[in-house]
Amino acid sequence: MPIDTGSTGFMLVATALVMFMTPGLAFFYGGLVGRKNVLTIMFQSFISLGITTIIWFLFGYSLCFSGSLGNGDFAGILGNFGMAFFRGVDLMAPSPANPSVPIMVFVAYQMMFAIITPALITGAFANRVRFPAYLLFLVAWLILVYFPLVHMVWGGGLLAAWGVKDFAGGIVVHISAGFAAFASVVYVGKRKVEDKGLHSLPLVALGTAILWFGWYGFNAGSEFGVDRITALAFLNTDVAASFAGPTWLLLDWIFTRKPKFLGFLTGSVAGLATITPCAGFVSTQSAVIIGVLASCACYLAVHLKNKAGLDDALDVFGVHGVGGFLGTVLLGVFGTVAMTIPGRDPSALASGLVDGRADLLFKQAVAAVGTAAYAFGFTILMLWLINRVTKVRVSEKQEIVGLDGSEHGEEAYVF
């Protein structure tokens, strides 16, 4: 099949947008922590650009997208090593998602998702984890959590065969990272040294702007071509975030008596995370409801987390875990075949309660709960094993000095 230059060009741009989200995340997290830990948390995002790419080339892509349930994979959970070292990724091979786009674009696009997902987790254990332990965690988490979920949902594995839907990563990215963050907080424990954090709200705003911008590639690009669904996903992404931001702002205004810029920024990200699994399956009217519900649910989750005394430093669980979970379930409510185009693959449709069907809602709920449990359990196990190899947590003295100086010998700000 000849190459569709329009779709290929768009997907290259979308790939670059998703890549840009990882530095955006670094700025977002960097502004939220104290001055003595800025470089450490930013580095934890940036290092994933290199390490994850290496693993993706060696065997990561193959484990995600080689084989399918009953056709050469490992029990529908992991692919095989048939495409290790990018074997078969050549100039003439078509993409499995769209034969009119080269496979190289598909490989690169999916790699950007793999890069940012483990980086999301780092906000939960800010200021507490040693760099060598984090590197081991990054590699182990990709192999044991992320790659199996990609294969099960997007690579023809168990969940895909059962009919579970995830347009752009509610299950694969946000539930997995959010509940891994929750597990990290439980295992690592609270910070021993008070960190007032939020040393630069402008940095947080810059990070949010980059994330929001990149999210168009994240969601609209997940159609893997240019058509009406691409436009729908693009518009739904913006609408959900634009309703979620003011909703969080209003909640802050009501409960703290102050209209907070940080609340608007946090709410916008919650809306982006929540619309992700639904973006190409729901109407724009539904996206409005999803955006509002996203901020309400995530705001409540953050409040309950604070009340419980859990030290999820940057609210990864409350925003990404709860947002991804809610969006995955709401897909079973608002997904509709009305949001389709002639000739679209029937397997790409999502028909939920608005269409009078309850089976998708059940599947989405089961998948959300199962993914949450899987990510939480394996993350706890991983951290326990890593701690047997090299100590996970920094010392109290290192916390006092700050991880920038004690771990890396660098400073973000020199006065």
CA-CA distance, 166 to 188, in Å (whole number)? 30
CA-CA distance, 93 to 216, in Å (whole number)? 26
CA-CA distance, 300 to 18, in Å (whole number)? 29
Q: What is the DSSP letter of 394?
A: P
- pTM passes above 0.95: yes
- Alpha-carbon torsion, ordered 331, 333, 339, 340, to 10 deg: 70
Tens of pLDDT along the chain (415 residues) come to: 789 999 999 999 999 999 999 999 999 999 999 999 999 999 999 999 999 999 999 999 999 999 999 889 999 999 999 999 999 999 999 999 999 999 999 999 999 999 999 999 999 999 999 999 999 999 999 999 999 999 999 999 999 999 999 999 999 999 999 999 999 999 999 998 887 789 999 999 999 999 999 999 999 999 999 999 999 999 999 999 999 999 999 999 999 999 999 999 999 999 999 999 999 999 999 999 999 999 999 999 999 999 999 999 999 999 999 999 999 999 999 999 988 877 777 777 899 999 999 999 999 999 999 999 999 999 999 999 999 999 999 999 999 999 999 999 999 998 6
The predicted pLDDT at position 415 comes to: 65
The predicted pLDDT at position 85 comes to: 98
Both ends of the chain: CA-CA distance in Å?
A: 60
5-408: CATH superfamily: Ammonium transporter AmtB like domains (1.10.3430.10)
CA-CA distance, 248 to 237, in Å (whole number)? 17
How many CA atoms lie less than 13 Å away from 409 in the CB half-sphere? Answer: 0
The predicted pLDDT at position 414 comes to: 80
The predicted pLDDT at position 197 comes to: 81
- Alpha-carbon torsion, ordered 271, 273, 277, 280, to 10 deg: 50
